């Protein structure tokens, strides 16, 4: 077969998901409450169609059938997370034996089906008791997280060789402390910076614990949402605005994770505005000495920035937007079903940046996907004809392939997501899966994109 895009041997093909978005069983088998359980109990109106975290794709009960479906689609890898509040109810103390048994069964089932488990430790689901003492603002929570991480390595590290400490650590900081879309729903830039910093300390400390165990063949990394930042124009003011946006959104996590230190420009900026986090020299040493082995890259859309059009309101909360405005480029390609820009070359630009500025560290696309509202409108002949998703994947893979041909050390591609799942405040508003899920009957149906993805993996290209 003459393929347009051929990928390297042993390329990681699969999908990504998370425990809180797929497992369901929110109050079964001694699982503790996390912040999403609590927020839904208290403000269900914040969630699309009032659908809360207990109504997910029920993976807790259907993992065997779902993993069999992954095998049928030729997956060779799959990323999911462990729920801290399920494994250790309350965030610290005794391991929940039923939870450990569940995760052991999932890991064993994946391996038995020839699917390598990539296990992430934290995907936005803070145990409620940990949030009550400050969440990621608290050094005590950092300590509890490190104990949780060590427990996971000890329980599952004999079989799981690919670990990540966090998925998109910027999101709890942005969503929970700046922009009102995660609990605890606070607007305070100083607290957001502390949360971001403490998360990086926690990641470094977890990596240190991982390395103490000398897991044979084991590697540990982090998953970052990276949005290449493009200035509106070549005007110096626009370039400066885009540079600050990049510092805050991308480099604030990328640099400490890969290089072991924060950008000097970021430190200078935060110091100038009296927004440096509480830190100590020992923590900075931990970050310096415990960098990642590999990097997961989540890419959905670019960020475009321009110089501020108006002076900030000095009486309003101090925010990152003090330094730049978001820019909507005329003529940009859009996902009309989700409202996000589609810019496939962004995935190439990210990989080239990693190659040129981050020692070409081993990386993979850990999330990329297309959300569609009311996707049932494309139902025909008993399954969803999502040609738009096939085109989306193809167009991104062409740019990823180009990056690899130019020497980028990209090892795989995981779609978000395998099957439609619950998505925080949006619940089931936007569907991303290769497999559709009827949340009333829990019936799984492969979409057209799923059949195409199966052939993509079989041919290692298209």
Is residue 367 part of the annotated active site? The answer reads: yes
In degrees to the nearest 10, what's the CA dihedral of 453, 164, 88, 138?
-130
> Could you tell me the two tokens for 39?
């927020």
- Residues 6 or more apart whose CB falls under 8 angstroms from that of 40 comprise 46, 47, 52, 53
Q: Check 109, 137, 367, 375 and give the catalytic one.
A: 367
- Residues 6 or more apart whose CB falls under 8 angstroms from that of 432 comprise 369, 370, 371, 372, 415, 416, 417, 420, 421, 423
> Could you tell me the two tokens for 192?
């957001």
Strand partners, 16: 79
Please give the span between the terminal C-alpha atoms of the chain, in angstroms, as a whole number: 9
Instruction: Establish how many alpha carbons lie within 13 A of residue 283's alpha carbon, considering only the half-sphere containing its beta carbon.
Output: 16
Say how many C-beta atoms besides its own lie within 10 A of residue 115's C-beta.
18
Active site residues: 367
């Amino acid at each position: 077969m003459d393929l347009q895009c051929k990928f390297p041997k042993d390329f990681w093909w699969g999908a990504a998901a998370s425990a809180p978005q797929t497992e369901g069983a929110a109050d079964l088998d001694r699982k503790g409450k996390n912040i999403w359980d609590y927020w839904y109990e208290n403000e269900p109106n914040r969630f699309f169609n009032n659908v809360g975290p207990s109504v997910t794709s029920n993976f807790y009960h259907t993992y065997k059938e779902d993993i069999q479906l992954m095998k049928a689609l030729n997956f060779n890898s799959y990323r999911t997370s462990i729920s801290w509040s399920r494994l250790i109810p309350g965030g610290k103390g005794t391991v929940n034996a039923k939870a450990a048994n569940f995760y052991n069964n999932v890991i064993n089932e994946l391996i038995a089906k020839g699917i390598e488990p990539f296990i992430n430790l934290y995907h936005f689901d803070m145990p409620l008791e940990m949030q009550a003492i400050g969440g990621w603002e608290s050094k005590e929570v950092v300590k509890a997280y490190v104990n949780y991480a060590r427990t996971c390595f000890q329980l599952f590290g004999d079989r799981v060789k690919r670990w990540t400490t966090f998925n998109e650590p910027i999101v709890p900081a942005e969503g929970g402390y700046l922009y009102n879309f995660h609990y605890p729903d606070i607007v305070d830039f100083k607290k957001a910076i502390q949360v971001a910093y403490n998360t990086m300390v926690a990641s470094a400390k977890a990596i240190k614990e991982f390395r103490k165990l000398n897991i044979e063949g084991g590697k540990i990394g982090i998953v970052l949402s990276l949005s290449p930042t493009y200035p509106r124009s070549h005007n110096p003011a626009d370039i400066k605005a885009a540079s600050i946006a990049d510092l805050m959104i991308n480099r604030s996590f990328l640099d400490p994770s890969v290089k072991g230190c924060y950008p000097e420009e970021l430190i200078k900026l935060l110091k100038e505005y009296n927004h440096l986090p509480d830190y100590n020299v020992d923590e900075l040493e931990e970050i310096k000495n415990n960098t990642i082995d590999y990097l997961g890259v989540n890419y959905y859309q670019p960020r475009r920035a321009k110089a501020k059009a108006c002076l900030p309101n000095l009486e309003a909360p101090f925010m990152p937007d003090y330094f730049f405005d978001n820019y909507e480029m005329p003529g940009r390609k859009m996902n009309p079903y989700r409202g996000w820009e589609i810019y496939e070359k962004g995935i190439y630009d990210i990989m080239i940046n990693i190659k040129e500025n981050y020692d070409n560290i081993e990386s993979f696309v850990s999330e990329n996907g297309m959300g569609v509202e009311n996707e049932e409108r494309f139902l025909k002949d008993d399954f969803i004809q999502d040609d738009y998703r096939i085109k989306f994947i193809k167009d991104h893979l062409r740019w990823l392939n180009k990056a690899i041909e130019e020497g980028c050390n990209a090892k795989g591609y995981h779609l978000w997501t395998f099957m439609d799942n619950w998505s925080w405040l949006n619940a089931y508003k936007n569907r991303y899966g290769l497999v559709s899920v009827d949340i009333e009957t829990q019936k799984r149906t492969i979409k057209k994109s799923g059949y195409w993805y199966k052939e993509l993996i079989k041919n290692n290209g298209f």
